[in-house]
Structure 1
Amino acid sequence: MPQRSIFITGGAGGIGLATALRFASAGWRVGVGDLADALGGLPVGFERYVHDVTDADAWTDVLTRFSGSSDGAIDVLVNNAGILRFGWFEEQTAAAHAALVDVNVKGVVLGAGAALPFLRSAAGGCLINIASLASLQATPRLAVYSATKFAVRGLSEALALEWERLGVRVACVEPALIDTPMLDHDDAGGLSFRRAVGGADLLSAEMVADAVWSAAHGDDLHYPVGAAPEALLQEIAPRLAFQRRQWRERLAAPSQRS
């Protein structure tokens, strides 16, 4: 059986690194993309690529090199790269807001577009987008971050419907608070996100990596991890099932144009 392959953005630390280790331990070929200053600390054995997720040309180049050709196959693409800015909306600069949108939304959109032909070539490829609990319940002092994760969830839901006809699965992993360096970002007054959440239970990056593994092998669209609000999920699940059924019927129907 051919070795399966996975490419992970933001893979040099946190969720990305835990995911890389999880799949490598199961015999997968793992490609890790990240900024140059982050890649140096990676364990030996991973294929490393200096990669800016906001650069469309870089996406095509890195996936072509990882797959081996412009029409190569990649079994799983994990859109994991993301940044967080903690603080009151009005205390953050326009540049900080724009950076969140660029990395967390633009990077995911570009990754989906660039990965599609490689996932189709894999026959059963899967796109996995990493969102957040903040994509289900907006979080104060994380207003724009929450908005970007709502966008990732919305994109995932739409592409899951669109790409069924192409034989490509889409999944969205939505973790609660994770014990990674992202929690150490300070607001304008010097308060860190980690201190602000105080005694909240934190997920390990490995717990999220397990959810990514489940997403790569499962059939669900949403993979909440940790303290996801059950009432909200119960509200979302029936709506999604109804909408997905409606859209499948509409997309399968012949054109009504005269």
Structure 2
Amino acid sequence: MAEPLNCSGWVALITGGAGGLGRAIAARLIERGVRCLLVDVNAAGLDQAVRALGPLATAHVADLTNAEAVQRLVLRVRDDIGRLDLLVNNAAVADTQPFEQRSLASIQGEFNINLLAPVLLTHSLLPQLRQAADGRVISIVSLGGIFPLPETSVYSATKFGLRGAMLCLGLDGPRLGVKFGIINPSATETPMLVREAIDGGNKLQFIDPPQQPDEVAQQVLRMLDDPCLERYVRPSESWTVRMAMLVPNLLGRLIPLFRRQGDAGHRRYLASLEQRGMIRQQDGVWQLVPPPGP
């Protein structure tokens, strides 16, 4: 196993910083002395995150689909902070509506957040990353960027695209002087996944119990310590999806075999969420339980 990288004094920018995964990644980086700039459109969530993470965490409210907002963020990094060693492209959204029922605006919005925003932000921050002694870009992609599932056409398209872009940049890394790496989680217990679980998200992602955000965060540290193009949180899942994609014409036969397992896993996950007080049923409808106040 590679020796832990000494990144004390580094500056990292983490998108989606108000969410559970962004916070978990920041917490692990802060343990190593990294100053973290958390970026999100959710101002209240960012405030909670930086208060929980302590003095090495700073908030920046920005809509990454807005060109002017991105430019203000880039200027803050360049002029106010003065350095950037690590960019973590983490922000993402998923819509559970069937493709044919979605609005064009919702489809475009998902592409903007999941694909265009990380690619454009990487491009905009590349000058600062190239000035770093050991500049890095780590993108949180998904097994959904390798293995297609029914009912996830837009999300899969964005993740397939992001994976392709970052793999290409990884091959260009020696020329650019920046190391690029991808983390491919499967279903991870974040607020987004919990909403999917109660709002009709694809049940196939619940075949195995969802992993925790810290499991993904630990892979970010592994990517720092031992850089490579791509890592998986659960190696067994990586082999399953890659083997299946060797025979894509058989996917139509394979998917029905997994549906029963997915339905059972979804029921178990709902029971787990209810047991932990995160959801409750009212008039036969699952609802989120608001977190306790301060």
Give 1:105 deviation, angstroms: 0.8
Q: Which residue of 1 aligns with 2:259?
A: none
Name the SS of the counterpart of 1:193 in structure 2: coil
Runs of 4+ aligned structure 1 residues displaced above 6 Å come to none
Name the SS of the counterpart of 2:160 in structure 1: helix
1:211 aligned onto 2:219: yes
Shift of the 60–191 alpha-carbon distance from structure 1 to 2, 3 Å rule, reads closer
Give 1:99 deviation, angstroms: 1.1
1:123 aligned onto 2:141: no
Q: Which residue of 2 aligns with 1:32?
A: 38
Residues 1-258 of structure 1 correspond to what in structure 2 (within 5 A)? 3-35=9-41, 36-42=43-49, 43=52, 44-45=54-55, 46-69=57-80, 72-185=82-195, 191-193=199-201, 197-198=205-206, 200-226=208-234, 227-233=236-242
Give 1:218 deviation, angstroms: 2.1
Shift of the 194–233 alpha-carbon distance from structure 1 to 2, 3 Å rule, reads closer
Give 1:59 deviation, angstroms: 2.4
Q: Which residue of 2 aligns with 1:248?
A: none
Shift of the 200–228 alpha-carbon distance from structure 1 to 2, 3 Å rule, reads closer
Give 1:126 deviation, angstroms: 0.6
| Whole-angstrom CA distance in 2 between matches of 1:136 and 1:196 | 15
What's the TM-score once normalised by structure 2's chain length? 0.72
Q: Is the 8 A contact 1:39 1:48 kept in 2?
A: yes
Q: Which residue of 1 aligns with 2:282?
A: none
Give 1:195 deviation, angstroms: 6.5
Give 1:229 deviation, angstroms: 3.6
| Whole-angstrom CA distance in 1 between matches of 2:125 and 2:84 | 8
Unaligned runs of 5+ in 2: 1-6, 246-294
| Whole-angstrom CA distance in 1 between matches of 2:147 and 2:207 | 19
Give 1:77 deviation, angstroms: 0.2
Shift of the 231–107 alpha-carbon distance from structure 1 to 2, 3 Å rule, reads same
| Whole-angstrom CA distance in 2 between matches of 1:95 and 1:186 | 20
Unaligned runs of 5+ in 1: 237-258
